[in-house]
């Protein structure tokens, strides 16, 4: 079983997905990304479902991509690019899905975790949340869509500062720039999630899916330029396995 627990709430019309790799900072590996794709497909195929909630066990939301998995894939560049493409496609699916997506963020949301937070529609964050990119810090490029998603979500200036490694956002700052929609204490998370679900249910799935479609028409997100840049970077040897050796011992990556 991949590190995910899925609870389908037939009565509340919401699918709850939990990242369960807390020993690895809930880092994303290829199997987890594939599993998330499958669970999203199942949710979208259920006409009764109107939303998906993504949460994580442990002290961090998601520290990025799994370094050990990445190191293995680096010996086969095409497999590495396939992993990146799967992650990027997951973010694109969340953006374009008829379902409203909610992320509950505690602790670190870095690299792939930040991209996941920027791909969903609603972010609920506890007072421990910290948002960071960190790719540039380690000399790598984002591969799950950060360059496409961040400028739309937080504006060009904040996006540049995050991508260049000059800035990390605590929960209050993240809320002020529009990345976080609601803040709460850890004890209040369940209550706040239920409030958001109740609000969505009162609107209805038809209205929500129509609105999401209109938003995507008016503000389309394109991942093509990042995909091309990542391929060129990979072909030029930018993802050199030796650069990951030290962090690979930690079993996770906050910079991919």
- pLDDT, tens only, 82-131: 999 999 999 999 999 999 999 999 999 999 999 999 999 999 999 999 99
Mean pLDDT for the stretch of residues 132-147: 91
Q: What is the mean pLDDT of the chain?
A: 88
Q: At what angle do helices 77-96 and 205-218 cross, to 10 degrees?
A: 120
Report pLDDT for 2: 47
Can you read off the two tokens belonging to residue 214? 């209109």
Give one DSSP letter per residue of 69-98, joined into a string. Answer: HHHHHTTSHHHHHHHHHHHHHHHHHHHH-S
- Percent over 90 (pLDDT), the chain: 71
Report pLDDT for 8: 56
Torsion, Cα 5 99 205 3, to 10 degrees, reads: 0
Report pLDDT for 113: 96
Res 19 pLDDT > 80: yes
Domain boundaries, the chain: 4-186+222-248
pTM: 0.90
SS3 at position 106: coil
Report pLDDT for 254: 43
For the ranges 1-10, 120-129, 174-183, the lowest mean pLDDT is seen at 1-10
The CA–CA distances, whole Å, from 213 to 21, 41, 100, 209, 247 equal 33, 17, 11, 6, 40
Mean pLDDT for the stretch of residues 19-24: 90
Mean pLDDT for the stretch of residues 141-164: 95
Asked if 133 and 165 touch (Cβ cutoff 8 Å), the reply is yes
Res 255 pLDDT > 60: no
Report pLDDT for 5: 61
Report pLDDT for 27: 92
Distance CA 7, CA 100 (A): 16
Please count the other Cβ atoms lying within 10 Å of the Cβ belonging to residue 166: 11
- pLDDT, tens only, 197-245: 999 999 988 999 999 999 988 888 999 999 999 999 988 888 876 665 4
Instruction: Determine the CATH number of domain 4-186+222-248.
Output: 3.90.226.10
Res 191 pLDDT > 80: yes
């Amino acid at each position: 079983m991949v590190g995910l627990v899925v609870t389908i709430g037939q009565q509340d019309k919401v699918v709850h997905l939990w990242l369960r790799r807390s020993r690895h900072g809930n880092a994303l590996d290829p199997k987890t990304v594939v599993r998330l794709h499958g669970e999203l497909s199942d949710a979208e195929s259920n006409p009764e479902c109107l939303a998906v909630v993504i949460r994580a066990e442990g002290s961090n939301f998601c520290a990025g991509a799994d370094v050990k998995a990445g190191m293995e894939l680096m010996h086969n560049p095409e497999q590495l690019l396939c992993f990146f493409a799967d992650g990027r496609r997951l973010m694109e699916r969340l953006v374009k899905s008829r379902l409203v997506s909610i992320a509950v963020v505690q602790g670190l949301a870095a690299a792939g975790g930040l991209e996941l937070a920027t791909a969903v529609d609603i972010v609920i964050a506890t007072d421990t949340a910290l948002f960071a990119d960190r790719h540039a810090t380690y000399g790598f490029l984002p591969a799950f869509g950060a360059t496409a998603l961040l400028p739309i979500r937080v504006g060009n200036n904040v996006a540049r500062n995050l991508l260049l490694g000059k800035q990390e956002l605590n929960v209050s700052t993240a809320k002020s720039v529009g990345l976080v929609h609601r803040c709460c204490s850890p004890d209040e998370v369940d209550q706040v999630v239920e409030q958001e679900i109740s609000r969505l249910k009162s609107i209805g799935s038809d209205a929500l899916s129509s609105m999401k479609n209109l938003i995507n028409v008016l503000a389309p997100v394109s991942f093509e330029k990042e995909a091309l840049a990542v391929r060129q970077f990979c072909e030029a040897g930018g993802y050199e396995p030796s650069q990951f050796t030290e962090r690979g011992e930690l079993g996770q990556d906050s910079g991919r």
